[in-house]
Amino acid sequence: MTTQPVRFYQVGSFAVGNRLLPDDDRTVQSDQNRTNSLDSGHRACQGCGEALGARYALDAAMRATGGRLVAVNATGCLEVFSTPYPETSWRIPWLHSLFGNAPAVATGVAAAMKVKGKGDVRVVAQAGDGGTVDIGFGCLSGMFERNDDVLFICYDNQAYMNTGVQRSGATPPAARTATTEAVGPEPGNVFGQGKDLPRLAMAHDIRYVATATVADLHDLEEKVERAMQLHGARYLHILVPCPLGWGSAPNDTILVARLAKETGLFPVFEAEYGKVTAVSPIRHRTPVEDYLSIQRRYAHLFGEHSRTDIIARIQAIADQNIATYGLIDDEADSRGQKEVTA
For other proteins, the binding residues (CB under 8 A) are 1-4, 6, 8-12, 14-20, 27, 29-30, 32, 36, 39-44, 46-49, 51-52, 55, 82, 85-89, 217, 243, 249-255, 258, 333, 336-337, 339-340
Nearest alpha-carbon partner for 65 in 232, 272, 227, 213:
227
Question: Does 128 interact with ligand TPP (rule: CB under 6 A)?
Answer: yes
Whether omega before 5 lies within 30 degrees of 0, making that bond cis, reads no
Question: Does 76 interact with ligand TPP (rule: CB under 6 A)?
Answer: yes
Are 102 and 135 a contacting pair, CB within 8 Å?
no
* Nearer CB in complex with ligand TPP: 131/188: 131
We find the least distance from the C-beta atom of residue 133 to ligand SF4, in angstroms, to be 16
Angle, helices 102-115 vs 137-146, to 10°: value is: 40
We find the least distance from the C-beta atom of residue 229 to Mg ion, in angstroms, to be 28
Q: Which stretch binds ligand SF4 (CB under 6 A): 22-30, 64-72, 241-249, 290-298?
A: 241-249
Site string for ligand SF4, 122-161 (x = CB under 6 A): -----------------------------------x---x
Among 79, 129, 216, 272, binds Mg ion (CB under 5 A): 129
Cα 80 from chain centre: 19
* Sign of the CA dihedral with 279 first, then 281, 282, and 283 last: negative
Sheet containing 208-213: order of strands: 94-96, 69-73, 122-128, 150-156, 234-239, 208-213, 269-272, 275-279
Strand 234-239 and strand 150-156: the pairing is: parallel
d(CA 261, CA 38): 25
We find the least distance from the C-beta atom of residue 49 to ligand SF4, in angstroms, to be 7
Beta carbons within 10 angstroms of residue 196's beta carbon: 14
* Nearer CB in complex with ligand SF4: 129/148: 129
Q: Which stretch binds Mg ion (CB under 5 A): 9-17, 56-64, 155-163, 189-197?
A: 155-163
Question: Does 81 interact with ligand TPP (rule: CB under 6 A)?
Answer: no
Are 51 and 42 a contacting pair, CB within 8 Å?
yes
User: Cβ neighbours of residue 156 under 8 Å, at least 6 residues apart?
Assistant: 128, 129, 132, 170, 197, 237, 238, 239, 240
Among 44, 102, 125, 224, binds ligand SF4 (CB under 6 A): 44
DSSP assigned state of 277: E
Among 47, 128, 136, 243, binds Mg ion (CB under 5 A): 128
We find the least distance from the C-beta atom of residue 191 to other proteins, in angstroms, to be 31
Q: Which one of Mg ion, other proteins, ligand SF4, none interacts with residue 42, CB within 5 to 8 A by kind?
A: other proteins
Q: How many residues bind ligand SF4 (CB under 6 A)?
A: 13
Question: Does 78 interact with ligand TPP (rule: CB under 6 A)?
Answer: yes
Amino acid identity at 140: L
Give me the residues that bind ligand TPP (CB under 6 A), please. Answer: 50, 75-78, 99-100, 127-131, 157, 160-163, 168
